[in-house]
Structure 1
């Protein structure tokens, strides 16, 4: 067993690099989105999960040359199967597909991914792979410092003309297809000047020393395996073409806007930020590969308003000091994060909870997402719902003075800052900034509790349901056992790992 834990990765000597096509390569999708604003980039927000999935499928179906896909999670679920079927269909018509996935969650998918890689137009690489493919957990014993650090990027690029990034991985909960839970998330679809920069970032990761072809890790599959997975995907698509979720895809607002030529990009100046993949190899104290210092410098200090949306929020003492210093200068600071009832990672809540009182006492407006109101609100609006019962925040976005908005993969916690690789776009857009500000000002109370101090002189909190005029003195919609678990976890010094 000890020998198994010391397994080695294969040599990379035979791995051939590859790169994005030239940005000026003619394509139908490029003509459709246009590029009549030299030096600028066009952005379109993808808020609704169904619309976000339809946008990806429509772009895959429109691809003529290349599709580059980079994700942290690639679940074996309905949406992922449909997504993969569309990728395979594109490859069959001659499109080059490069699929780059973090290896953390691919143990159950490795055989299928290796079968896809048999296709002459599909390459699959796994990032920061576990050397021992059979007993992965042993890798944490022998090399925790590297294997605990993951590629958290999300990037989807078609023909080097259109680029999508944001909070969503590939899986049902991200695209409103889950029966019992759903993520409130945000992506932006972009065109123009920023797309070739995103392609260069993808190439950097694709050709990095931590990136390995799946067939080198699993072993090459034969032609029959490709035939088998092709037939399996085709059968799945046929059997599900009349499902409730596929019907929602057909009826999505994005489809209607696309059909009516109503997809209007907001053309603005922007900057792409991404961690260099060497970040995973560097000591945590080494910041040269980290994007966060450059991002915050570019965002600048707010003068009037700052809105922060982060599902995993651990500001630490430095963050509390920064946000409360803004308040002292007259800045209206609002933070939205997950409540204990909504979060999918209790340990993160344990790291976050001890900062709440100081943030509120310092004037920060703190809101926590309700877990179960999303479905009722959608049904009230006449939207079909697949039966989801719990909502969890997953969007990662910030605005400064209603002028700049960041959308990306980065949570405001130590793991995003120091351990995992992240990416995102900073957009100088009043339109998109106002879009988020309007949601916070007008709609957030429907989705979230406002957290306040019961008494300014102590740290006891209360949660206010401002819509239904209710007040809670314990974490709402949680059991005593759940609250005890979080308290117990908070006793351990693991904050920097969260």
Structure 2
């Protein structure tokens, strides 16, 4: 008994010693910086410039290759500044190419500010610190872990804050062009993997909304939770910058003949962008974003949250509502709201991931218990199939090998074919209450109809419709409305996967999902 007590005390002291000694550095030396004036002359800005005072122009980026090409082309066209803000920044082919282009822009005098959430940057910290040696590159990490060696132990002492992350995605060039949406920086978001791919959506924006996006970036960049990477990791020297520059240059040279780079070269998007052939949809819009204080506030404190303002601005649909959310946990309140719309005569459609398609089983465990009530209440519930994307890619003229599966990652919704929201926010407790998010609400019949057309004409090919087996119980069936197949349990899943989800659902963790 004494030995066990000693062991427990020793472990507690060890954990306290490891975590207690770790502190974030002083912020006294950190200098604020801000976006350039939106009136600064810019060649790419003038090419897509606005003759529409009070409005903003929008162009959807649906295809992953086009979404990546757009970013690279804009980096190449930047003359003054590039501001980049992302949740995930994977060490993969697309990220390396993206970083190489950023560094090349910095070499020609463009100021680059790279703001990343710290959760997934442990493996990249040395490289990021080396990049920050460049006089035109600044890298900051948001909500960093004080203990850089034993990061996970930070959850023990400060779980309430460190479990809440910056989920924003923002890409701004010369304060004239802005991209936001569901995509992080990594292969699966840009159709660069044969074995998996996210179905995602961004919007490229010009006009009045861009300075607003820059204000949002500056707010996070200068926030008390944003730290220069070199302050966290320690200063790197000029040699480290030389080495990372050489590594990036060699990688780009070695990948010139790769399948993916060939797809990038074949994309016609660059010429369309540079030749002013992109048809922007000029409309009124509103940018929404959480204040970064959200991650420090008590969960019940909503003053920093964007969702109340967003839902108020969207109002209630009168005829039709389409909701696309890869991670969908409506809770009782959301379920009652959606079914109340149906009772008022609104056609409500929800698309989310199936168990076979999702990359987060825990979220599916939180979502599954609301399905029966949603369907019984008249909501048209669809779940994405893990579709074989090889045939789809080949049909689009791409060269692929192996097998490939899809997972939904787009976050969008439209009401009455009149207004559409595109952003980073899922309809789950984590997005609404814990992480920071952003997105744009556009008063656009064109973009709303684009989503509605896909749901009406294309979605049945890529998703199963969820229905009740009988009106008297909660048993579900999944219908393939194209082949008329019916499944009595979650399609294309093993009994072990279904057991895992059931087991997770036993734990009271919904508010963390």
Fold-level match, TM-score > 0.5?
yes
Q: Does 1:107 align with 2:122?
A: yes
Decide which of 195, 198, 206 is 1:191's aligned counterpart.
Answer: 206
Q: Does 1:452 align with 2:459?
A: no
Change (3 A) 1:276 1:405: same
Show the 5 A alignment for 1:406-485.
406-485=421-500
1:265-318 CA-to-partner distances (Å, cap 9, x unmatched) read: 100000000000000010000000000000000001100000000000000000
Structure 1 Cα separation of the partners of residues 274 and 109 of structure 2: 26
SS of the aligned residue for 1:156 comes to strand
Name 2:149's counterpart in structure 1.
134
Report the alpha carbon displacement of residue 468 of structure 1 after superposing the two structures with TM: 1.4
TM-score, normalised to structure 1, is 0.99
SS of the aligned residue for 2:123 comes to coil
Name 2:83's counterpart in structure 1.
68
Structure 2 Cα separation of the partners of residues 81 and 277 of structure 1: 28
> What is the Cα-based RMSD across aligned positions, in Å?
1.0
Structure 1 Cα separation of the partners of residues 393 and 349 of structure 2: 25
TM-score, normalised to structure 2, is 0.96
Change (3 A) 1:165 1:25: same
Decide which of 147, 162, 168 is 2:177's aligned counterpart.
Answer: 162
Deviates more, 1:103-112 or 1:249-258: 249-258
Structure 2 Cα separation of the partners of residues 432 and 451 of structure 1: 26
Decide which of 365, 369, 384 is 2:399's aligned counterpart.
Answer: 384
Show the 5 A alignment for 1:292-307.
292-307=307-322
1:397-442 CA-to-partner distances (Å, cap 9, x unmatched) read: 0000000000000000000000000000000000000000000000
Name 2:385's counterpart in structure 1.
370
Give the number of equivalent residue pairs. 498
Which consecutive unaligned segments of at least 5 residues does structure 1 have?
A: none
Name 2:9's counterpart in structure 1.
none
Report the alpha carbon displacement of residue 15 of structure 1 after superposing the two structures with TM: 0.3
Name 1:324's counterpart in structure 2.
339
Kept in 2, the 8 Å contact 1:373–1:446? The answer is no
Kept in 2, the 8 Å contact 1:182–1:388? The answer is no
Structure 2 Cα separation of the partners of residues 30 and 143 of structure 1: 44
Name 2:414's counterpart in structure 1.
399
1:228-279 CA-to-partner distances (Å, cap 9, x unmatched) read: 0000000000000110000000112423533664211100000000000000
Deviates more, 1:185-194 or 1:379-388: 379-388
Name 2:288's counterpart in structure 1.
273
Structure 1 Cα separation of the partners of residues 311 and 403 of structure 2: 36
1:40-74 CA-to-partner distances (Å, cap 9, x unmatched) read: 00000000000000000000000000000000000
Report the alpha carbon displacement of residue 4 of structure 1 after superposing the two structures with TM: 1.6
Kept in 2, the 8 Å contact 1:70–1:154? The answer is yes
Structure 2 Cα separation of the partners of residues 20 and 31 of structure 1: 18
Q: Does 1:209 align with 2:240?
A: no
Which consecutive unaligned segments of at least 5 residues does structure 2 have?
A: 1-13
Name 1:5's counterpart in structure 2.
19
Tell me which stretches of 4 or more aligned residues in structure 1 moved more than 4 Å.
none
Structure 1 Cα separation of the partners of residues 58 and 387 of structure 2: 31
Kept in 2, the 8 Å contact 1:162–1:191? The answer is yes
Structure 1 Cα separation of the partners of residues 464 and 277 of structure 2: 35
Report the alpha carbon displacement of residue 383 of structure 1 after superposing the two structures with TM: 3.5
Structure 1 Cα separation of the partners of residues 44 and 401 of structure 2: 32
Kept in 1, the 8 Å contact 2:47–2:274? The answer is no
Report the alpha carbon displacement of residue 450 of structure 1 after superposing the two structures with TM: 0.5
Deviates more, 1:325-334 or 1:252-261: 252-261
Structure 1 Cα separation of the partners of residues 468 and 277 of structure 2: 46
Name 1:91's counterpart in structure 2.
106
Structure 2 Cα separation of the partners of residues 87 and 281 of structure 1: 31
Kept in 1, the 8 Å contact 2:479–2:487? The answer is yes
Name 2:37's counterpart in structure 1.
22
Kept in 1, the 8 Å contact 2:289–2:439? The answer is yes
Change (3 A) 1:96 1:260: closer
Q: Does 1:44 align with 2:59?
A: yes
Kept in 2, the 8 Å contact 1:373–1:447? The answer is no
